[in-house]
């Protein structure tokens, strides 16, 4: 009985094992026939077919008036489709033959061919081929199977370098980037946005690539057409830029004394970006040229540095707007109070000089801002106090990013007693004098100064800079229109706003900003000259403009790098921008040689002084100024005696 029981148990085990095997086979069959059916069908299909991908047209980019600034156009591309029986020895020969025709290194081509063979997927070897090259490649097609020519859509920038730092450019995916994006429909040879709008809205601009399915033999030779799936173009992006204003800003900067600088123009009513120019610029079409094109070499030397958001400079006398706000709103000094300017001003044992060497005589606030009198602002700055000025710095959002959304934006550097104490350092009256005229350790970007003058134009609102008006999706989702976003408020008494606006109008009508006086328009602004330890000073001009009786429709910050005086270097650029915005014929060259007589007289009489160098535009030794007399807002520390230092002169 025991033997029969043992035999029965063994039989039961065999049956259990049998059922387990059958169950596993059933699960595997279910996986093959149902769960993975589509995947295996595609794999089987690939044994006899190859898919030729056709790059879909990227969405168009328009300016605010509907002018095309980026589009796509048809072009010929060379592709390679690996066959099952092709060996790597054949690839070396193909790479060598193609190298001479395409102007690419053999090693580069061989890497692409090997990637295609490993992945068993078609790969682009060259794009935008000229007719002469196409005819030669047609001969290579007959020798090497798997090589073919297809028509695709290629990005094209019809205006060349227009707004290049905002639009950005395209570049090929590297292997690591492709691994991250392959599940989103990107191929090993896809082009993607590398900067600017092209990068930020990559998913919206990218269309769905088309497919041509061809039957091939074991060597990868095309046998017959099986079918196709048409491409779907990407969505369109409508920018807030005005092409006319943008072109005027770029041309004017390129005609400035140094031919280097930035201009940021916004609508103060909603923060929309009307122009965003950074010079030197680049032509994004360079990145799409064939490798053997001589111009392609320039791609490695393009000036990608965006001065508008990444360049940091001392604001110079444009900062007197903020000093004035602190003084007037804090009631520390009456606007009618007069200060005598002899050309110099002593703080402790240090002497600070006005840019006007012989002095301006008695100045009240209105004349002080119009003439940009340094001595006047040294004195009212000391009366207002460094802490008050720093508080208004923060209110105008200096030292913070504007959140424009472009890669590489710098926050600049705030300067004041609180910042100094945070680092465990002391603050002195000499620091306050420097801060009052926008020098010292203070650093700003052109887009931040556009925010400052925007707030003055609209009486207190700092909008987030916005460069997209509408996005039209290609998948039927409709359109997206972003809403204006408030980033901050500057709270000043109404009478203070009245004074500030009246003072900036006086700057243009009878002061250092005469180069921007335009009959028939209300123009207000402020000049500035930022000291540069590495060469010529940087010229600033911030301004806003509108038709008489209407709210200002434009606010602009212009920086001319190494341009010298703000009125004569940056002023003409601002003038050209304003004339373009209001459809006026240019009345003076944009090169800075046609400044108004009063501007020339002020510059000739004042001249430029020598100041101690600082970080990209301010005295580095600002903390050393007037150390014999600490600021009244900071307890006097015990310090060793300081030796006298040379006087400091700031030019306007």
Q: At what angle do helices 88-102 and 131-143 cross, to 10 degrees?
A: 160
> Is there a single domain that holds both residue 204 and residue 314?
no
Asked whether residue 460 is assigned to any structural domain, the reply reads yes
Residue 401 burial (CB < 10 Å; 0-12/13-18/19+)?
middle
> By the 8 A CB rule, do 313 and 570 touch?
no
Q: What is the pLDDT of residue 75?
A: 82
Asked whether residue 263 is assigned to any structural domain, the reply reads no
Mode of pairing for the β-strands spanning 61-62 and 236-239: parallel
Asked whether residue 350 is assigned to any structural domain, the reply reads yes
Q: What is the pLDDT of residue 620?
A: 34
Asked whether residue 272 is assigned to any structural domain, the reply reads no
> Is there a single domain that holds both residue 24 and residue 64?
no
> By the 8 A CB rule, do 452 and 402 touch?
no
> By the 8 A CB rule, do 66 and 80 touch?
no
CATH for 80:
3.90.1310.10
> By the 8 A CB rule, do 550 and 267 touch?
no
Asked whether residue 403 is assigned to any structural domain, the reply reads yes
Closest to 531 (Cα-Cα) out of 556, 570, 566: 566
Q: What's the pTM value of the predicted model, to 2 decimals? A: 0.78
What is d(CA 569, CA 259) in angstroms, rounded to the nearest whole number? 10
> Is there a single domain that holds both residue 94 and residue 175?
yes
Q: Indicate the Cα dihedral angle 154, 159, 160, 163, nearest 10°.
A: -110
Provide block-wise average pLDDT over 10 residues at a time, the chain (652 residues): 65 79 79 65 58 84 97 84 61 79 78 76 74 72 73 89 95 78 77 94 90 67 70 93 98 96 98 97 87 63 88 96 95 90 92 92 96 95 95 97 95 95 93 94 97 98 97 88 96 97 97 95 96 88 97 97 93 97 76 35 32 32 38 36 33 44
What is d(CA 441, CA 398) in angstroms, rounded to the nearest whole number? 13
> Is there a single domain that holds both residue 218 and residue 341?
no
Q: What is the pLDDT of residue 195?
A: 94
Asked whether residue 652 is assigned to any structural domain, the reply reads no
> Is there a single domain that holds both residue 337 and residue 414?
yes
> Is there a single domain that holds both residue 349 and residue 403?
yes
> Is there a single domain that holds both residue 105 and residue 179?
yes
Q: Which two tokens stand for residue 326?
A: 């602190």
Residue 536 burial (CB < 10 Å; 0-12/13-18/19+)?
middle
Which residue is listed with tokens 């335009």? 518
Distance of CA 45 to the CA centre of its chain: 46
> Is there a single domain that holds both residue 59 and residue 82?
yes
> By the 8 A CB rule, do 281 and 250 touch?
yes
> By the 8 A CB rule, do 381 and 323 touch?
yes
> By the 8 A CB rule, do 290 and 103 touch?
yes
What is d(CA 293, CA 131) in angstroms, rounded to the nearest whole number? 14
The three-state secondary structure class of 329 is helix
> Is there a single domain that holds both residue 20 and residue 96?
no
What is d(CA 611, CA 624) in angstroms, rounded to the nearest whole number? 13
Domain of residue 31: give its range: 2-35
> By the 8 A CB rule, do 614 and 314 touch?
yes
> Is there a single domain that holds both residue 336 and residue 208?
no
Instruction: Work out how many domains the chain is built from and give that number.
Output: 3
Q: Which two tokens stand for residue 194?
A: 């590398």
The three-state secondary structure class of 58 is coil
Q: Indicate the Cα dihedral angle 276, 280, 285, 286, nearest 10°.
A: -160
> Is there a single domain that holds both residue 483 and residue 369?
yes
Closest to 558 (Cα-Cα) out of 510, 592, 593, 517: 592
Q: What is the pLDDT of residue 77?
A: 80
Element (H, E) at 462: strand 461-463
Asked whether residue 643 is assigned to any structural domain, the reply reads no
> Is there a single domain that holds both residue 8 and residue 157?
no
Asked whether residue 642 is assigned to any structural domain, the reply reads no
The conformation of residue 46, written as its DSSP 8-state character, comes to: H
The three-state secondary structure class of 420 is helix
What is the length of the chain? 652
Residue 359 burial (CB < 10 Å; 0-12/13-18/19+)?
middle
Q: Which two tokens stand for residue 149?
A: 């020519």
């Amino acid at each position: 009985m025991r033997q029969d029981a043992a035999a029965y148990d063994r039989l039961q085990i065999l049956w259990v094992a049998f059922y387990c095997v059958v169950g596993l086979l059933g699960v595997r069959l279910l996986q093959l026939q149902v769960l993975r059916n589509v995947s295996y069908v595609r794999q089987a299909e690939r044994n006899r077919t190859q898919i030729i991908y056709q790059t879909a047209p990227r969405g168009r980019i328009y300016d605010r008036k509907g002018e095309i600034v980026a589009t796509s156009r048809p072009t010929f591309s060379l592709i390679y489709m690996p066959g099952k029986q092709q060996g790597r020895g054949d690839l070396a020969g193909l790479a060598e033959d193609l190298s001479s025709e395409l102007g690419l290194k053999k090693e580069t081509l061989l890497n692409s061919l090997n990637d295609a063979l490993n992945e068993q997927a078609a790969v682009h070897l060259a794009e935008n081929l000229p007719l002469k090259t196409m005819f030669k490649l047609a001969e290579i097609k007959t020798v090497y199977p798997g090589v073919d020519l297809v028509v695709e859509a290629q990005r094209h920038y019809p205006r060349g370098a227009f707004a290049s730092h905002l639009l950005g450019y395209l570049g090929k995916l590297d292997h690591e980037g492709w691994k991250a994006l392959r599940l989103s429909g990107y191929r090993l040879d896809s082009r993607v946005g590398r900067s600017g709008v092209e990068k930020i809205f990559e998913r919206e601009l990218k269309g769905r690539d088309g497919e041509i399915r061809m039957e091939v033999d074991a060597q990868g030779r095309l046998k017959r057409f099986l079918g196709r799936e048409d491409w779907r173009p990407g969505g369109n992006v409508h920018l807030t830029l005005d092409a006319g204003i943008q072109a005027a800003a770029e041309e004017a900067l390129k005609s400035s004394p140094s031919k280097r600088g930035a201009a940021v123009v916004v609508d103060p009513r909603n923060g929309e970006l009307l122009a965003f120019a950074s010079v030197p610029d680049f032509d994004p079409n360079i990145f799409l040229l064939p490798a053997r094109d001589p111009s392609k070499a320039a791609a490695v030397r393009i000036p990608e540095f965006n001065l508008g958001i990444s360049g940091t400079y001392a604001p110079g006398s444009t900062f007197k707007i903020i000093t004035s706000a602190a003084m007037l709103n804090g009631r520390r000094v009456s606007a009618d109070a007069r200060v005598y300017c002899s050309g110099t001003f002593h703080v402790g044992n240090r002497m600070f000089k006005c840019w006007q060497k012989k002095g301006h005589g008695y100045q009240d606030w209105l004349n002080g801002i119009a003439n940009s009198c340094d001595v006047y602002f040294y004195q009212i700055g000391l009366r207002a106090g460094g802490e008050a000025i720093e508080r208004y710095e923060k209110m105008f959002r200096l030292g913070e990013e504007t959140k424009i959304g472009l890669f590489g934006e710098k926050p600049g550097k705030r300067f004041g007693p609180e910042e100094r104490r945070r680092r465990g350092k002391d603050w002195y009256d000499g620091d306050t004098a420097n801060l009052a005229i926008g020098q010292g350790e203070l650093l700003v970007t052109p887009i931040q100064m556009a925010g400052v003058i925007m707030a003055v134009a609209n009486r207190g609102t700092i909008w987030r800079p916005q460069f997209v008006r509408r996005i039209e999706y290609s998948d039927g989702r409709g359109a997206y229109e972003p809403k204006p976003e408030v980033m901050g408020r500057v709270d000043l008494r109404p009478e203070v706003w009245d004074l500030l606006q009246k003072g900036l109008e006086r700057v243009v009508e009878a002061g250092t900003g005469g180069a921007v006086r335009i009959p028939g328009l209300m123009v207000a602004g402020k000049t500035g000259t930022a000291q540069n330890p590495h060469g010529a000073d940087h010229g600033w001009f911030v301004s806003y403009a509108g038709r008489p009786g209407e709210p200002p429709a434009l606010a602009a910050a212009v920086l001319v790098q190494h341009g010298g005086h703000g009125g004569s270097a940056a002023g003409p650029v601002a003038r050209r921008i304003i004339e373009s915005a209001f459809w006026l014929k240019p009345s003076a060259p944009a090169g800075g040689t046609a400044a108004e007589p009063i501007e020339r007289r002020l510059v000739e009489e004042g001249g430029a002084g020598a100041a101690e160098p600082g970080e990209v535009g301010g005295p580095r030794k600002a903390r050393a100024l007037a150390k014999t007399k600490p600021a009244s807002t900071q307890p006097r520390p015990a310090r060793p005696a300081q030796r006298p230092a040379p006087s400091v002169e700031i030019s306007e």
